[in-house]
Amino acid sequence: MMIPLEHYLIFAATLFAIGIYGALIRRNIIGILISIELMLNAVNVNLVAFSRSTSLAPETGQVFAIFVIAVAAASVAVGLAIVIALYRVRKSVYTEDIHLLKW
Amino acid sequence: MELLNLAGIAGVYTLMLVILIAAVAMVTLRSLFHSALALAAVLIGIAGIYLTLQADFLAMIQILIYVGAVMTLIIFAVMLTEHLSHQTVRQNNRQSPLAIAGICAFLFCLTGVIVRTPWPLQPQNQTATITAMELGKAFMGQYVFAFELISVFLIAALIGAIVIARKDK
Amino acid sequence: MVTTSIYLIPLLPLMAFAVNILFGKKVGKQASAISIASSLLSCLCALPLIVAVAGGRRFSGEWLWLNLGIDQLKFGYLIDPLAATLLFVVTIVGTLIQIYSTGYMHGDPRYSRFFAYVSLFMSAMLTLVIANNLVLFFIAWEIMGLCSYLLIGFWFEKDSAANAGLKAFLTTRIGDVCFLIGIFSLFAAIGTLEFAKFEGALKGNSHVLIPVAALLFLCGTIGKSAQFPLHVWLPDAMEGPTPVSALIHAATMVAAGVYLIARTYPVFIASPAIMPVVAIIGTITAFMAAFIALTATDIKRVLAYSTISQLGYMVTALGLGGFTAGTFHLMTHAYFKALLFLGAGSVIHGTGTQDIRNLGGIFGKMKSTAITFLIASLAIAGVPPLSGFWSKDEVLSSAFHSGNMLIYAILLLTAFMTSFYMFRLVFLTFFGKARDHQIHAHESPNSMTVPLWILAVGAALLGLPASPWLHNWFQTFLTAGHAGGEHEINRMVMASSIGVALGGILLAAVMYLWVPALAGIAGKLFRPLYWLSIHKFWIDEIYDVCLIRPFLQIGKILYKFDERAVDGCVNGTGWITLLGGKMHNWCDHYIVDGLVNFVGALTQFLSRVTRRLQTGLIQNYLLIIFLGVLILIYFEMRS
């Protein structure tokens, strides 16, 4: 017996919401990054669930998900490089210390 | 058989629950290191979910790349930037009430949409298993352009990360 | 030819005036020549006229000026015996005085202006003399008043002269206003203002305004001829140059008042109630002026009071019905008074002083002046056969024959006083020992002495035409057509007048020539009378307190009213405007600026609030984006 599509979707949506919550909440930049990772994973789950249930070619979703994983990895890499650079300059990884955009 | 199915389904739901708990833990734990570990748990859990969705190859890829490489990277960064004295500073900023309200509303809306939409289900896909061969065919066939592009993208990200993170002379 | 030249008589001096006043600077010394020439030409025009009138002709002519509906106003002339007499006097005396002025006013900085004014005066006087209606008469009268003012105050740098001019003008003005009202009332009564029509219009007319008009004419004479109570200006008018005193205030202008009564005599005859008033005023004037002259010490003052006194004689004569007497005395008085004044001017010119207390014994040094002065004094005293005797005798006999013995007695007494004070003047000035040894008298130039001699001839001989020796030719000439005043010779009157004349001379000789101490004793003896005389009856002081000060007070009150009320209104308006301005300012400051400032403050406040959005923290921006997306979702779901 299969798990109905809606459950997977709800699960992915919940994960996504938690990821957004983390992105909005975390004071640490790396914390924000890992929340973004969570969000991307939720999206992946969504994609795979959809491709399995509703699409004519079931591999589409997985191909897409692989691409997403690649992009996510790249983004993490670059993001962390930025964090390292920022840490070198500001000696801090907390968001409230980085407010150059403040009026 | 019924029992196995039932157990399997219960196991999937349990897995989902565990993942959710780990995700919540991830966003609320004070120590960043612990959050990273929770993320690793989530990622492994997600791989399990892929298995239940008959995306075996994807699950392997997930573990290899995410848990293997990305988590390593994150742990490294955490180590490099955090004082290992485990300062128990407050992890949340002051936006938490508003954010909670926001995501509750978000979830509510999304759930409503998901439940109400009549998804066009294709029952024959339920049992098909996608193998690496089919994925390879798709990559080299239909999605070859995106495939090449993503390799360029990865090169760019690689170079970019190196450039950004290196020390200025 | 004769008739056209009549217009020239007043016109020539007017042209001389125009030339002298407009081109005075260019004309310079020639101004006198122009004036004298014009005057002489007028004289030459007048003489044939006089001869013709004497031969029985009359001249009148006119042209229309205004049409008033009831009557018409015309410019016109009427040369009848009365006018001819006056012409004779005015032209000759005027010309001689102008010739005299060339010497007297020599070196004056405003030489040409003097002659301009004198020419204007001559023109006005001649117009007055030949005018045939009261309006033209009045116009000329006023112009003469103006000239008098200008000439009295000719040396206006002296305060006393300027004030005297003003006094003369204002005092005669009172008379002039009465005169004008008199003209109105006469017009209302008889509807015509022409002299020739008076007799006809007045016959049988018993309009109530006729005596009123007569009385008002009398007031005009009181002002112009310096009768009591408006005589106060004449003594002060002596501040003017002596030729002016001679011409205007002795011979001609003051005579204009008498001439007015003579010209409007029918009106007076038709107002039997007013004639006694005329006579009384004349008598009072004559006596009072002579009384004051007894103690005067300035040559010109003595002569001024003498003029007032003699004018009183003339007015009295007219008031008593003695038309010819008054006119005759007018004529003779003009000559000898002009001579007296010119002689006084010569003395002043030669010695530099006017105070007779400082003079004395200058007979030898100023022979021409002294002899002519003596002749004139004899004339005014009334010594026969000089002209003054005949005219004064006429006046006295008309007083006697009118039956009013009081007036006659007073006039006789006045004659005595006249003779006395005149010879007091003569003896103190010319005879005796010199009292001030710093005065070195010298005779005046010929331009001044020749007129003196000519006038002396006139003063001496002019009485003869009216004397019985020439069968009273003058009286018949004058009264042809008028009810006149021809009287028989009354020997008693004549004798008494000679007596008082000689008596006065004798008394003056005693007191001032032979026994000089007597004057002081007499002064102490009659102390109250002396005080009355020397203070001129305190009339000036009375006028000052009763009239002048109240008027000045009224003026001050009105000024204060003007200042407070009128200016207050103006200032109040200004203050209100200022208040309005202040309110505007306040409005502008608080309300308008407040609005503007409020807008600015509002903008600042809003910006301060919205600035908080820009925290610089990315998570805040994320949150806002997320919430925005939520809202979009919500709206999408609804629709």
So what's the pLDDT on residue C363?
A: 79
CB contact under 8 A, B98 and C630: no
Q: Evaluate if residue C130 carries a pLDDT over 90.
A: no
Query: E strand or H helix at C79, and its extent?
Result: strand C72-79
A100: closest CA of chain B, how far (Å): 18
Q: Give percent above pLDDT 70 in chain A.
A: 98
CB contact under 8 A, B130 and A73: no
Q: Does B104 touch chain C (CB under 8 A)?
A: no
Confidence of residue C177 (pLDDT cuts 50, 70, 90): very high
Q: Evaluate if residue B23 carries a pLDDT over 90.
A: yes
Residues A54-97 have pLDDT tens digits of 877 888 889 999 999 999 999 999 999 998 888 888 887 787 77
Q: Give backbone dihedrals phi and psi of C277, rounded to 5 degrees, phi first.
A: -60, -45
Residues A15, A21: Cα–Cα separation, whole Å: 10
Q: Evaluate if residue B28 carries a pLDDT over 60.
A: yes
Confidence of residue B125 (pLDDT cuts 50, 70, 90): low
Least trusted range by pLDDT, from A9-18, B146-155, C71-80, C376-385: C71-80
So what's the pLDDT on residue C489?
A: 64
Residues C519, C510: Cα–Cα separation, whole Å: 9
Residues B33-60 have pLDDT tens digits of 899 999 999 999 999 999 988 888 999 9
Q: Evaluate if residue C71 carries a pLDDT over 70.
A: no
So what's the pLDDT on residue A70?
A: 94
Subunits with 3+ C-beta pairs closer than 8 A to C: A, B
3-state SS, one letter per residue, for A37-75? HHHHHHHHHHHHHHHHHHCCCCHHHHHHHHHHHHHHHHH
Who among C620, C626, C637 is closest to B102 (CB)? C626
Residues B154, A8: Cα–Cα separation, whole Å: 30
Q: Evaluate if residue C618 carries a pLDDT over 90.
A: no
A1: closest CA of chain C, how far (Å): 32
Whether the pTM exceeds 0.90: the reply is no
Who among C611, C614, C619 is closest to A24 (CB)? C619
Instruction: Count the neighbouring beta carbons within 10 Å of the beta carbon of residue C141.
Output: 28
A-chain residues within 8 Å CB-CB of C614? 101-103
Who among A99, A101, A103 is closest to C611 (CB)? A103
A-chain residues within 8 Å CB-CB of C619? 23-26, 32, 95
CATH for A5-97, options being 3.40.109.10, 1.10.287.3510, 3.40.50.2300, 3.40.50.300: 1.10.287.3510
3-state SS, one letter per residue, for C387-443? HHHHHHHHHHHHHHHCCCHHHHHHHHHHHHHHHHHHHHHHHHHHCCCCCCCCCCCCC
So what's the pLDDT on residue C483?
A: 47
- Per-residue pLDDT, averaged over C102-117, amounts to 84
Q: Where are the alpha helices (DSSP H) in C191-298?
A: 198-202, 209-224, 233-236, 242-246, 253-263, 265-269, 274-293
Q: Does A99 touch chain C (CB under 8 A)?
A: yes
Chain C nearest-CA residue for B96: C623
Who among C611, C614, C622 is closest to A24 (CB)? C622
Contacts across the A-C interface (CB distance below 8 Å) = 31
Who among A20, A32, A102 is closest to C615 (CB)? A102
Domain positions in chain A: 5-97
Contacts 24+ apart (CB under 8 A), B18-21: B18/B45, B19/A11, B19/A15, B19/B45, B19/B46, B19/B49, B20/A11, B20/A14, B20/A15, B20/A18
C-chain residues within 8 Å CB-CB of A23? 619, 622
CATH number of B2-84+130-165: 1.20.120.1200
Determine the residue among C613, C617, C620 to mutate to test chain A binding: the one whose Cβ has the most chain A Cβ atoms within 10 Å.
C617
- The DSSP code sequence of chain B is -HHHHHHHHHHHHHHHHHHHHHHHHHHH-SSHHHHHHHHHHHHHHHHHHHHHTT-HHHHHHIIIIIIIIIHHHHHHHHHHHS-TTT-----B-TTHHHHHHHHHHHHHHHHHHHHHS-----GGGGS----HHHHHHHHHTTTHHHHHHHHHHHHHHHHHHHHHHSPP-
